[in-house]
Structure formats: C-alpha cells, structure tokens
C-alpha cells in the first residue's frame, strides 16, 4: 500500500509539470465542446486529435487524450440539458430529466448537479482504479459471453421502470428498438435481414446517432412546439452567489443516486465491450426503481441527472483499467487510445506497470488533476450555457434543426441517414402523441447488438444448451437480479392497489 502512495505521489508531480498541466487544461476544454456537439462525442474527438499528440512525448500525449475523454463525458450533459439533444449515447439518459428541468427554469441546477455528480463519479472511480487495478482486471476477465448476456438482461430489466406504469407499452417500445437494432447483416451467417423495401442503404444498419438525434432532436422539438403552441420560452435564471450556494446545498438530494452511479459505472466500465452507455442507463433505471418518488422521474427529478452522469464518468475511468492492465479496450474510445499507445511504442498489459511505471502513474495522477480541472471549467462556464436558454424556443428551433442535420451528416456522410433521422423524428413524435415511451426503444437499440452477440456466442459454445446461463455463478446472480427488478414494480403496484382497496369505505356499508 505504501508503494502505491509513493508511486501516486510521483504521478501527481508528473501531472503538475508545466507541459502536462497545459495539455490537461487544453484537453478538458476541448472535450467539453466536443462532448456537447451533437454527432461528435469522445470517440470522434479522440480520433480527430490523435495525430496532434505525435508532437509531444507519449506520457503527455496520453494525458491530453485522457483529459479530452474526461471533458467529453462532462460535456455530453450540456447539449442534453440545454437543447435536449444527446451528443453521444452516453448522455441519452441525462435528457430524460435534464431537459424538463431546463424547461422549468432549473437549467443551472441540472448543469451543476451533472458537474458535481460527474466529479464524484470520476473521483470514486479513480480511487478504485488506483487501489484495486490488478484484482479488478482479473475479475473482469471472468466475464465470458454468458456473463455479458446476463448483464445486458439486467440492463433491460431496468428499462421496465423507464416507461411508467404502462408496462405493456414499455415492452412494445423495447421490442421496437430491438427490431431496429437487428437491421443489417446477420452477425453469424452474414446474410442481410430486415432490409426494408429492399433498399441497399439499410444493409449498413440504423446507426444509434441517427435514432437518438431523430427521437430527441426532431421528435422532441415537434412535441414542444405543439404542446406550447410555439410560445415556449425558458425561464430566465439569475445565476449569482446565492443561487450557487443554494444549488450546492441540494447535493444531499441526489447524493445516494450519485454513489450508486459511481460504483455501478466503474464496475460496468471495467467489463470489456460494455462501456459508459450501459452503465448510465442501468444507473438511471435503478435510481428510479428504488426512488421514494419514481413518478417524478422523466419530469425533472434532479437524481435522474446525477445518476447517469456519475455512472458515465466512472465508467470512462473504469474502461481504461482493462486497457492498461490487460491490453483489452473497455470502450470504443479506449480502443483508439490503445492504438495510440501501440504507435508510441508501448505494450499495454500486466508488464506495463513494471516496464513503464512513469507512464502508468503519470496517467493515473493526471486523472485526479483532469477531474478537478474539468469540474471547475464546467461550473465556471454554466452562465455561458444558460445564455442559450435565454432565447425564445422559436429561435432555438431552427438552431436545433440545423444541429441535428449537421450532426448526422457529418458523422455518417450519407444523405440517406439524414432523411432517415427526419422520418424517425416524425415517428417518435407520433409515438409521444399515442403515449408510448420512446426512451426504452432508444436504449434497446444501443444494447441490442451487444446482447445478440453475447447470446449467440453463448448458445454456439454450449451447443444450444440454455442452462449454460444458469450454470455459471456470475451469470446466475445477474439473472436473479434482473428477475427481481422486473418483479419489483409489479409487486409494488399490486400492493398499492391492495392497500387502496382496504382503505376505501363502501358507501352502502
């Protein structure tokens, strides 16, 4: 333990070197803007700026890219709250309560809750990373296809709470998302499936960004315009020291959800191919399931902002653990970082701690500094973000529309995806009018491919024996938790009806 603290101290000193400190600041600032731009996100930001890092030493390069990754995780909440457009899949869950809070004149509370929860989630995950990296990496290796599918099943179980009391409509929404996720080529046979109208463009599948921006950009814009008759205007926020102090005092309202998201996010992030998106979705679903006031989620509950933000920031740190200790990327962004490390002549794996300790502990030390720098930047820039909401929604509408079109086209470079995004937006608007929840469909298209791959790998390896999911202890525990999460809202709803029936008095009596 003493050796760890000595190494960490050396890493912190390395992070405070002038060049490294400047790169941390530049990376965090760039990440904030990359994260809040629809269509970019941490993956594209790291990929675009990777060639720039060849001008600096490897340690400084990885520090800059890790800071960019951190900043992008923070920045994803900005567009989700202020515009209702998730910049990446990791920020989808933040829209559910962040956007309603902004419409209620509580954008500063939502942005501050997102920043504080992100800071707590990042700090908790970095401490866990520092203390338990080798054993946690070894535990993550025990997750095979069976455990991955059970974990995805657990994530789907949390979706039941996202659709309110109408569970059949929620299940329909999940199934609709799974159908859209299956469009393209079969992962085993390679044959095309669900190619609507025999259009070859569907062979590439429906990208998540196309669906998310269509639903939460175009769909929500149309819904807001209809429900407010085009006269909606965000409440003006007078952001002063008194208001800031009041917002800090409300941390206790969402601290439990933040701790839950932090621990859960780090654990899910350490699993190969899981990443921050499932962590954020599971954290939101669990926070709603165990909340004292679950009906307020989706209507502006501050815990609905804090839980996913803590989880996605914790998962971003957790995903670096298998990359550093095992050479296995835990997310698409860390896959790009892994490629950069190989280009720099480093060999990620168990020997990296002994062969390049300065590199490893410099990176860990920079995580502490980057986490602090990012939360300070985020809090300082809240007044700038609030100014976006000072405009009438009729002025914001064309801006949102242009950002949606540019975000999709810049990412896919296909007009077909742009038209598809607009059609999906219209369909989402119609689902809202019919009181169908759209959130489960969006989340299902994220986890659908992961669940399908792990399910089919498990069945192939076990020659079709479904008992393989129950015979493995970790898989069995996840499945039991999933059953409990599905049963909990059904049982609680039944108990409420039973109590209501017992307390009601018969007028004839």
Secondary structure (DSSP) of 112-161: HHHHHHHHHHHHHHHHHHHHHHHHHHHHHTT--HHHHHHHHHHHHHHHGG
- Any domain includes 455: yes
3-class state of residue 70 by DSSP: helix
- Residue 321's SS3 state is helix
Residues belonging to the chain: 509
Place of tokens 């399910």: 455
- Is residue 508 domain-resident? no
Can you tell me which residue has the tokens 């996913």? 308
Distant-in-sequence, close-in-space partners of 288: CB < 8 Å, separation ≥ 6: 161, 162, 294, 297, 304
Tell me the three state secondary structure of residue 192.
strand
> What is the residue whose two structure tokens read 């309560």?
97
Q: Give residue 60's pLDDT.
A: 86
- The residue whose two tokens read 């698409």 is 332
Residue ranges of the chain whose pLDDT lies below 70: 1-2, 38-41, 44, 48, 87-89, 133-134, 136-141, 158-166, 227-243, 272-275, 326-332, 349-350, 386, 388-393, 489, 502-509
- CA–CA separation, 445 vs 432, rounded Å? 18
Structure-block tokens of residue 204: 């590439």
CB atoms inside a 10 Å sphere around CB 241: 7
Residue 372 lies in a domain: yes
Asked if the structure places residue 19 within a domain, the reply is yes
Q: Do residues 264 and 279 touch, judged by C-beta distance below 8 A?
A: yes
Report how far Cα 506 is from the mean position of its chain's Cα atoms: 50
Task: Tell whether 509 is covered by a domain.
Answer: no
Using CA atoms, how far residue 102 sits from 6, 119, 235, 390, 419, in Å, is: 45, 21, 8, 11, 29
Number of domains making up the chain: 1
The Cα–Cα gap between 99 and 85 comes to: 9
What are the C-alpha distances in Å from 124 to residues 132, 259, 318?
12, 8, 10
* Residue 476 CA neighbour count, 13 Å, CB half: 6
Q: Collect all residues with Cβ–Cβ distance below 8 Å to 160 and sequence separation of at least 6.
A: 167, 170, 171, 285, 485, 486, 489
Q: How far is CA 356 from CA 98, 134, 325, 348, in A?
A: 42, 16, 12, 10
Q: Tell me if 258 sits within 8 A of 314, measured CB to CB.
A: no
Q: Which two tokens stand for residue 31?
A: 């990440």
- pLDDT at position 235 is 46
Burial class of residue 456, CB neighbours in 10 A (0-12, 13-18, 19+):
middle
Contact 58, 66 (CB under 8 A): no
C-beta of residue 437 within 8 angstroms of C-beta of residue 173: yes
Containing structural domain, residue 342:
2-502
Containing 306, the helix (H) or strand (E) segment is: helix 303-318
Give me the pLDDT at residue 334, please: 76
User: How many CB atoms sit inside 10 A of residue 105's CB?
Assistant: 13
Through-space distance between the first and last CA atoms of the chain, rounded to whole angstroms: 72
């Amino acid at each position: 333990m003493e050796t760890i603290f000595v190494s960490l101290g050396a890493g912190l000193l390395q992070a405070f070197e002038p060049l490294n400190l400047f790169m941390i600041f530049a990376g965090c600032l760039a990440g904030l803007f990359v994260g809040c731009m629809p269509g970019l996100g941490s993956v594209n930001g790291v990929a675009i700026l990777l060639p720039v890092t060849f001008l600096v030493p490897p340690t400084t390069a990885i520090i800059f890219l890790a800071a960019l990754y951190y900043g992008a995780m923070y920045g994803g909440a900005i567009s989700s709250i202020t515009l209702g457009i998730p910049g990446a899949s990791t920020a989808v869950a933040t829209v559910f309560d962040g956007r309603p809070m902004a419409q209620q004149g509580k954008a500063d509370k939502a942005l501050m809750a997102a920043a504080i929860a992100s800071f707590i989630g990042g700090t908790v995950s970095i401490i866990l990373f520092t203390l338990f990296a080798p054993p946690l990496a070894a535990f993550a290796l025990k997750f095979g296809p069976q455990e991955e599918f059970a974990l995805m099943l657990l994530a789907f179980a949390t979706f039941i709470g996202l659709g309110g009391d109408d569970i059949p409509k929620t299940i329909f929404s999940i199934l609709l998302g799974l159908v859209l996720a299956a469009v393209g080529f079969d992962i085993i046979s390679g044959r095309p499936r669900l190619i609507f109208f025999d259009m070859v463009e569907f062979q590439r599948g429906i990208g998540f960004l196309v669906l998310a921006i269509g639903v939460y950009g175009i769909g929500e814009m149309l819904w807001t315009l209809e429900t407010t008759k085009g006269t909606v205007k965000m409440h003006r926020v007078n952001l002063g020291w008194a208001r800031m102090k009041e917002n800090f005092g409300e941390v206790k309202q969402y601290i439990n959800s933040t701790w839950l998201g932090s621990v859960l996010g780090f654990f899910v992030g350490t699993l190969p191919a899981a990443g921050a998106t499932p962590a954020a979705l599971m954290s939101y679903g669990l926070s709603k399931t165990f909340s004292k006031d679950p009906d307020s989620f989706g209507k502006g509950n501050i815990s609905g902002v804090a839980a996913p933000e803590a989880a996605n920031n914790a998962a971003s740190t957790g995903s670096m653990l298998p990359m550093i200790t095992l050479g296995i990327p835990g997310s698409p962004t860390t896959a790009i970082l892994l490629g950069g490390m190989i280009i720099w002549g480093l060999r990620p794996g168990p020997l990296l701690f002994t062969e390049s300790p300065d590199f490893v502990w410099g990176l860990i030390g920079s995580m502490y500094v980057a986490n602090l720098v990012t939360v300070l930047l985020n809090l300082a820039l809240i007044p700038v973000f609030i100014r976006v909401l000072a405009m009438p929604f009729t002025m914001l509408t064309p801006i949102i529309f242009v950002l949606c079109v540019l975000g999709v086209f810049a990412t896919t470079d296909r007009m077909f995806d742009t038209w598809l995004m607009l059609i999906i937006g219209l369909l989402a608007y119609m689902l809202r009018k019919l009181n169908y929840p759209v959130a489960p469909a969006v989340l299902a298209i994220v986890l659908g491919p992961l669940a399908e791959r792990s399910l089919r790998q498990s069945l192939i390896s076990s020659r079709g024996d479904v008992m393989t999911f129950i015979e493995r202890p970790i898989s069995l525990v996840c499945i039991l938790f999933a059953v409990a999460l599905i049963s909990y809202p059904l049982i609680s709803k039944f108990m409420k009806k039973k109590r209501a029936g017992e307390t009601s008095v018969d007028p004839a009596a």
